[in-house]
């Protein structure tokens, strides 16, 4: 089974994950902190941006892959992948650059939750109704 659309978004998200990893590594080296954040707010924010990404992306990508495999509409698979990608980029940017609340974090989480919810509902509809 080939899932080219999911593979496309998974690849872009993988590059984003590597970028976040390198940001965390750079901050760890700059502050000479091996474990934890050493009390450095920037390292704490970057670590959480990286962690949050790794918490939401896998399950959402799995649901998008299932949706594509269940013959979900091409435009809908792209909409789900785009929402997840832009949501994660916005959230990471907002968390990495601002302490406290930011519109980027808020919008990023809304897009991420929409991708998760729509993928879940889409899969249930496709499975139940066999569309």
Nearest to 92 by CA among 111, 79, 64, 77: 111
pLDDT string in tens for the chain (131-residue length): 799 999 999 999 999 999 999 999 988 989 888 888 787 888 889 999 999 999 999 999 999 999 999 988 999 999 999 999 999 999 999 988 887 789 999 999 999 999 999 999 999 999 998 76
pTM of structure:
0.92
Q: Which CATH number fits domain 4-126: 1.20.120.550, 1.10.760.10, 3.40.50.1100, 1.20.140.10?
A: 1.20.120.550
Domain boundaries, the chain: 4-126
């Amino acid at each position: 089974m080939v899932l080219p659309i999911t593979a496309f978004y998974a690849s872009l998200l993988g590059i984003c994950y590597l970028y976040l990893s390198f940001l965390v590594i750079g901050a760890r080296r700059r502050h000479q902190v091996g474990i934890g954040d050493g009390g450095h707010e920037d390292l704490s924010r970057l670590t959480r941006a990286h962690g949050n990404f790794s918490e939401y992306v896998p399950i959402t990508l799995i649901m998008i892959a299932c949706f594509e495999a269940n013959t979900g509409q091409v435009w809908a698979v792209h909409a789900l992948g785009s929402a997840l990608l832009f949501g994660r980029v916005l959230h990471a940017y907002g968390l990495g650059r601002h302490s406290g609340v930011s519109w980027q974090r808020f919008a990023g989480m809304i897009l991420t939750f929409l991708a998760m919810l729509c993928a879940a509902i889409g899969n249930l509809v496709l499975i139940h109704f066999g569309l």
